[in-house]
Structures are given as structure tokens and as C-alpha cells.
Structure 1
Amino acid sequence: MSQATDRASARISYTNTDLKGYLPNSSQQKNVFNVAATLTSADKKLETFTNLTYFNSRAKGRSEIGYGDNNVMVKFIQWGHRELDMRELKDLYIMPNGSQVSWNRSAWDDPTPAYSNNPYWTRYMNYQNDGRNRVYGNVGVSYKILPELKFQYKSNLDFYVDKQYERNAVNSQELSRYFEISRQQYELNNEFLLMYNKSFDDFSINVNAGGNIMKRHYEYVYGETSGGLALPLFYNLKNSVSPPAAYNLQRKKAINSVFGNATLGWKDRLYVDASLRNDWSSTLPQGSNSYLYPSVTGSFIFSELLKDASWLTFGKLRLGYAMVGNDTDPYLV
């Protein structure tokens, strides 16, 4: 849905996607909600704007990759037999007592399969599921100080929470287990920008100068059972035979930046660009956490001199020099 007037505009959209995987017991649902709006003052000097998106995803039965116990294609290609009836494997992969039904029993009195699970057991008993919630977008304001000069402030946010769960059931070929992972991150950027545009005679000039404040916070939590599951079909870290393993970390990072760039053009064919940026990073040692990186570029659009040449639509020569600055991840020595 959208609506607009001479001073305001708004748009709201919603998208729902429901997918069924080609492997049994696999699916994914996605929901995306977006809102965008602008509002301009009567004198056309002040403008506020926003663009926000909420994303939600739920998935079940993603296929494992590589040589893993839950990669049914790799396991079945290596350990399966040509004479196996897939319909029988599908119709009966679990007994009433919870044991697995497969063609490759470990022994006459031990139904535990050797080397590989029944592929339908893998898909319906050893599946994984995950979910993600994410919010990202921006909100800002701009003000036209002069016809050629404008100031803009914009705040950008990207926040997500990601959950992942995996399980191997009791009576699987491999040791039963359960683990879950939680990831959470937000990044916030506040940008201040002054923009100047001017054309006179055969020349054009474009100058931008501003600063940015970036903050990022990341959390990771991992837990896994140890020694197998004490009770079947109860997937909780408390169901671990031995004390479960756990791991967590936090990472915080901040970068303050100032930057500027200028473009000078002549007759829409010759351009000179120059930029300069300085960052101060929290991940570098105090006193050595500042790094400066410039760039300069020259370009010549020679096709402007050959407008009568039917064989040429656009031609450009470009020469540039740049230095790139970078920091490191948090808490590294």
C-alpha cells in the first residue's frame, strides 16, 4: 500500500513466503514487513525520512553438508544398497518401542544400525531447526541551508537474533545428542553529512564532508549435551548424561570517523575526485588506534569528443590511487 502528496509519501508492504523443501520434513517460512515514509516542510527546506524492515524466518530440516551423519545423500550413496525398497524404509523407520528400523542392524539382537541411519529416520528424527528475527533500516532528517548546501543526519540500525537447534535421537547410529546456538548482534551508525553542489560556466563541483559513529555488539552462546541423552525425545541440555558443554562470548567494537570527498568536473568530460578519511577504532591499542587513508582519481570521458561515431556509445579512461585502512577484531593481541 502506498500514498503520496506534494509534501509527504508513505509505503507499507508485507511479504509472506512458505517453502517446502525437496527433502522430507523440510520447510521454511519467511515474513517481511517494510515501511517507508518521507515528510517535507512547506518551504521544501526540511525533510524527514525513514525506511524500516522487519524480517522473520523459521526453517526446519535444512540439509547437512559435507560428510556428516545427517547428510542423507552422502551417507546413503556410500552405505546404501541398490536393492533397497525406499517405500519400505519410509513406511517403517521406527518401532513402537522407539528403536530404529533399518537394513543394516549391528547384530541380530541389536537393532542399532551400522555406519548409516535409515534416511527417513535421519529426516524425521535427527532434523535441525532454526529461526531468525531481524530489524534494520534508517531514520533521518535533512535541511537545505542554501540552494547549493544541505545538511543531513541519518541513523542506521541493524539488529538480529538467531537461534539454531540440532538433535540426534536415541537409537541413532551415532551418539544421541542435542545442541543449541544463540547469536545476537546489533550495529548502530550515526552519520552527519554536509553536502555542497554547484555548477558554473563549464565547471561543476561536488563536496561532501561528515562524520560517522559506529557501535557494534555481538553475543554468542553455545550449549551441547555430553555422553548422550538420558531420556529419548526430550531435547534439553538438562537431559545430558554427563555435564553439558557450554561456551559463550561477547564482542564490542566502536569506530569514530571523519571523512570528506570532492569532485571537480569540466564540460562533463574531465573529472578529478579526491577523498580523505580518518578512523579511530576501539580494537587497536590506545595511542595507535587512528589511521588515515586518502584516494585520488582522474577520469576522461573521451566519447564526448566522438559523438558522431556510431560504433561507440560510451568510452572512459580512469586512473586512480588509493590507500585502504583497516583495524582488527575485538580482544586480539
Structure 2
Amino acid sequence: MKLDFSNDHINTGVATLSSHFLWASALVLTLAMVSFALDLAGAPHRAARLEARRSAAAQTRATADGDVLVDAPATTQLTPEKRQWGGIGMSLSWLGTLLLIVAVATRTIAVGRPPLGNMYEFSMVGCMFAMVFFLAWSLKSDIRWLGVFVTGPIVLFEMLAAVVYYTAASSLMPSLQSYWLSIHVTVATLSVALSTLAFSLTVAYFVQNWRDERGEAGRERLKWMDALPSAASLDRTTYGVLIVAFPMWTFTLIAGAIWAQEAWGHYWNWDPKEVWTLVIWVVYAAYLHARATAGWSGKKAAYIALAGFAAILINYGVVNVYFVGQHSYSGL
């Protein structure tokens, strides 16, 4: 099924407006990143003040009862301090994501089709999905500790989209004018967005694990990391995210083959893009297999997860731009 995406549908004014919204989103999310960083920087001071309040409350109870309560610090319930910078970071994340959604929506209006036809559009939509996943997760759990690890890469990818990958609004090349564009590329973008969150968790895991390996001396360094879950918890969370992302990437691989048969008459042509899509699948399959059968966890599994995300970066940042093939539609 071919769709008609002629240049008559292009609205350059709305496309310019979309790029302005992207810049605005990047600015707001940069401020969110700084706010999350300040929140983490204040974690050691919050912990020290909470411990002081517990000690004071324990002494007050001991005086009132006329007896010394050995377990008073552990049983005394105190209201946690308000985390002003963390709250600001979350508010800015919501605003930055809203601006990004508007940027994607206006790009859709400008080109009259799903904004998935080149690197610029793919990067923009991928950043949007990653932020939406992060914010949806934040509604269920307090993950302000993850904010700086998520907004940092997202701002970087937004800047790459705006500065390096920017492509003027245009119609699709003939091979992309198919309903498979919305199906295949959207699911691929969702999978990459989840893989980006997994990458952020893996980076946090390595920092936390580095502290744990050095014992008490290591835990005294980077005290702000005490605000994050343990290394084992971060490792398990990464595994959970990739369990969701992997079936999406599997579907991406299969749907791409079906689309290739429709567009070019062959399910598989050993095109560079196809090969790297398969490489990504193999690496993440190895990660899940190693965890499920060999019981791998911790650093060994984390290295494979990093290799998978590195393959994603190569696929979209190198293969799309520098390799000539049937998938040469980066727009650069």
C-alpha cells in the first residue's frame, strides 16, 4: 500500500515552529538536568540532617520516659525533608516533555505524515518516547534520583537532532511511502527509547558498583550516590526494562523483513542497516540468555547491555549517515 506524500503537503512555517519547540524543550530539560544534579548534590546533607533529627527525637523520648531507649533512633518516624530541587526537576521535565510533544505534533502537521522519515525526526520522536516512559514511571515510584541520568542523554540527543541531524521538511522517498512506516519505525523507536533508559540505569549501576567494590572507603566517596538504589537493585531494574524492550526489537526485525519483501522483493538483502539491526538483536538476546540460563548478573551482564546500546548508537549514528545502502534515508 503506497501513500501519497507529495511536496504539496509541506508547510515550512509550521516546520520552523516545530524546530523552535525542539530548542525550547532542550533548554527546559537542561534546566531540569541541573535541578536533578543539585538535588543529588544535597543528598548527603539531607541524610546528615535526618540523622541529627532522629538523634534529637530519641533523646527527647528517653528524657520523657525517664529511661534510655536503645532502639529509639531506628523506631523514631520523621517526615522526610522536602526536596525542592528534585521537585523543580520533575516540573521542568513535564514542561520540557510537553514542549517536545508539541514539536513532534507540529512536525507531523508540517510534513503531513508520521515524522519518522529521517534521522532528525527519528531522534526527536525517540527522545519524546524516552521522556514519556520516564514520566509515566515517576507517577508510580519516586525516581527523582534517575532524573539526571535520563535528562542528560536526552538533551544531548535533542541537540544532535537540532544541530547535526536537522533536515528540512520534505516528502518521503518512494520506498518509505507505506503504512509499514508507522508500524515498523514506531515500534523501533519505542524499543530504542526503552534501551536508552536501560543505558542510563546501567551507567548508574557502574558508579554504584564502583563504590561498593572499594568498601567503606568507596562509600565515603560520591556520597550523593547514597540517594540511589543499591547496585543490585539497579541491575535488576535494567533487566526488567530490557525484557520489555527486546520483544519490541524482535518485532522491528521481523516487520522490517516483511516491509523489505513488499518494497524490494526480498526479505533479506544483507544491507548494512539490516545487518546492524540483527547485531543489536543478537547482543540483547545474549544479554537475556546469559541472565536466564547462566545466571549472569552484575558487571558481566552490564557490559553486554552497554555493548547493545553501543550497537544502537552505531546503527543510527554511523550506519545511517556513512553507509550507503537501501536504507540510506537519514536525510543528511
Larger Rg: 1
Q: Determine which structure has the larger strand proportion and give its number.
A: 1
TM-score of the pair, normalised by structure 2 = 0.29
Q: Determine which structure has the larger helix proportion and give its number.
A: 2
TM-score of the pair, normalised by structure 1 = 0.29
